[in-house]
Amino acid sequence: MNVNVRKVEQVAILDLSGRVVIGEALYDFRNTIRDTLNEGFTRILLNMENVTYLDSSGIGELVNCYTLVSTQGGSVKLVKAAEKIGSLLQMTKLLTVFESYKNEREAIASFVKS
- Would you say residue 19 lies in a domain? yes
> How do residues 76-88 score in pLDDT, each as one tens digit?
999 999 999 999 9
The residues pairing with 14 across neighbouring beta strands, listed in sequence order, are 5, 46
Can you give the CATH number for the domain in which 24 is found? 3.30.750.24
Domain that holds residue 31: 2-106
Q: Are 92 and 63 in contact (CB under 8 A)?
A: no
19: phi then psi, degrees, rounded to nearest 5: -95, 120
For residue 23, pLDDT over 90 is answered with: no
Residues 6 or more apart whose Cβ sits within 8 Å of residue 35: none
Instruction: Give the count of domains, the chain.
Output: 1
pTM of the model: 0.94
> How do residues 37-78 score in pLDDT, each as one tens digit?
999 999 999 999 999 999 999 999 999 999 999 999 999 999
